[in-house]
Amino acid sequence: MGIGNVFFSLLSEMWQSRNIPVKFEKRGDYAVITGWKDSLLPKAEIPGTVCGIPVKKIDSRAFVQCNFLEEVTICDGIEELDTNAFSGCDKLMQVHMADSVRVIGRNCFFECRYLFCADLSASLREIGPRAFYGCVGLRDIKLPDGIERIGEQAFCGCTRLKSINIPLALKELPRNAFENCRELERIYLEKGSPADRILSKSEYYTQLLCYIPRF
């Protein structure tokens, strides 16, 4: 490619990206979201493509402490929310995930105190350590049927969490995943499931377990 063509290509990319609300980087054949251009906007729709390039990931600390952000929609195609992607977003109340999201990373929504609605992806496989740590506004969470791993203290300090339904597919669940969830009343799960074998060893959790009949 000649110098003129390279320059034209770069200029074209700059022109296409000027009206895109997110900052991004190309990594091979896909893009990674690295930030939000206007931190004062209360709503963010994070696109699944930018300049015709598929977006696979929201990068580490991409939206950390975006204190005006109230609602986030993660569009189809994005597969991973990296470490601390939304941590410390003091006003974040709602998160809506497309079903392409498979991984929520460590500390992803750490101390998002007003988060009360987290619509998780149906394809979610992993919730990292402290992903929802200190989300004191979260009252209930619906884990998708295919989730396999929940990390250390993932929901620690979610003091208003009332109930949680744990699917049979879950294989890794540390006993401190729901530490300091003071209002937790019910944990729904199947008797004999991996989660049951873990939680039933704790005197505290035993009194919260509610067994779902297997049909």
pLDDT of residue 5: 45
Q: Is residue 210 part of a domain?
A: no
- How far is 92 from 45, CA to CA, in rounded Å? 13
pTM of this prediction exceeds 0.85: yes
Task: Give the range of the structural domain holding residue 93, as residue numbers without chain letter.
Answer: 14-185
Q: Is residue 128 part of a domain?
A: yes
pLDDT tens string 106-144: 999 999 999 999 999 999 999 999 999 999 999 988 899
CATH of the domain at 148: 3.80.10.10
209 versus 21: which is more confidently predicted?
Answer: 209
Q: Is the pLDDT of residue 8 over 50?
A: no
- How far is 85 from 20, CA to CA, in rounded Å? 19
- How far is 159 from 66, CA to CA, in rounded Å? 23
Of 106, 101, 98, give the one whose Cα is nearest residue 125: 101
pLDDT tens string 16-52: 445 577 899 999 999 999 998 866 779 999 999 998 9
Number of domains in the chain: 1
Q: Is the pLDDT of residue 164 over 80?
A: yes
- Residue 99's CB is within 10 A of a number of other CB atoms, namely 12
